[in-house]
Amino acid sequence: MTALWIAHVHVTDAEAYGRYAALAGPAIAAHGGLFLARGGRYKQLEGNDRPRNVVARFPSFEAAVACYDSAEYQAALDHARHASERDLVIIEETPPPAE
């Protein structure tokens, strides 16, 4: 089953976060990740508002976890740690209903 990586982010240091984004994109792509949403329009309906929302699809739950744990992504994450407030979850997608 494919998996989604869902991040809700409040950027506090745009320059440092830009360095994160420049490194994170290639790390995500290297693990089969494909961005479905990346900072577009949104409407906060419940919970904490984080103005940057990102959704990426990975070929499997294991690939999404491996991406996060990879040396490349961790190097990118070093730039985001003190440049943002983030929530990140990986969730396995529900299979489509049988026809």
Mean pLDDT in residue range 17-34:
96
Residues 45-78: tens digit of each pLDDT: 999 999 999 999 999 999 999 999 999 999 999 9
Amino acid, res. 82: H
Tokens of 34: 């494909």
Task: Supply the pTM of this predicted model.
Answer: 0.89
Domain spans of the chain, in order of start? 3-92
Average pLDDT, the chain: 95
> Which among 56, 53, 62 is positioned nearest to 87, based on CA atoms?
53
The residues, any chain, with a CB within 8 Å of residue 4's CB and separated by 6 or more, are 36, 55, 56, 57, 58, 64, 90, 91, 93
pLDDT value of position 91: 98
- Whether the Cβ atoms of residue 5 and residue 77 lie closer than 8 Å to each other: no
The correct answer on CATH 3.30.70.100 for the domain covering 3-92 is yes
